[in-house]
Amino acid sequence: MHDEKHMRAALREAARGLGQTSPNPAVGAVIVRGGRVLARGFHQRVGLPHAEIEALRMLKNPALARGATIYVTLEPCSTHGRTPPCVEAIVRAGFARVVIGTVDPNPAHAGRGVGLLRAAGIAVTCGVLESECRELNAGFNQWIVTRMPLVIAKAGMSLDGRLTRPPGEGQWLTSAASRADAMRLRTQVDAILIGAQTLRADNPRLTIRGVPGARQPWRVIVTRSGDLPKNAHVFTDAHRDRTLVFRGKNLRAVLRELGRREITSVLLEGGGRVLGEAFDRRLVDRVQFYVAPLLCGGPVPAVGGRGVGATAEAPLLRNPRYDKIGSDLRLTAEVEYPGALSAA
Catalytic residues: 52
Q: Is 32 within 8 Å of 125 (Cβ atoms)? A: no
Q: Give the SS3 label for residue 283.
A: coil
Q: Are strands 286-292 and 265-268 parallel, antiparallel or unpaired?
A: unpaired
Query: Is 321 exposed, middle or buried (CB count within 10 Å of its CB: 0-12, 13-18, 19+)?
Result: exposed
Residues making up the chain, counted from first to last: 344
Radius of gyration of the chain (CA): 22
Alpha carbons 48 and 297: distance in angstroms, whole number: 51
Query: Is 15 exposed, middle or buried (CB count within 10 Å of its CB: 0-12, 13-18, 19+)?
Result: middle
Amino acid in the structure at residue 84:
P
| Of the candidates 326, 305, 287, the residue with the CA atom closest to the CA atom of residue 173 | 326
Where do runs of H (alpha helix) occur along 94-245?
A: 112-119, 130-136, 138-146, 176-186, 196-202, 233-236
Q: Are strands 328-336 and 286-292 parallel, antiparallel or unpaired?
A: antiparallel
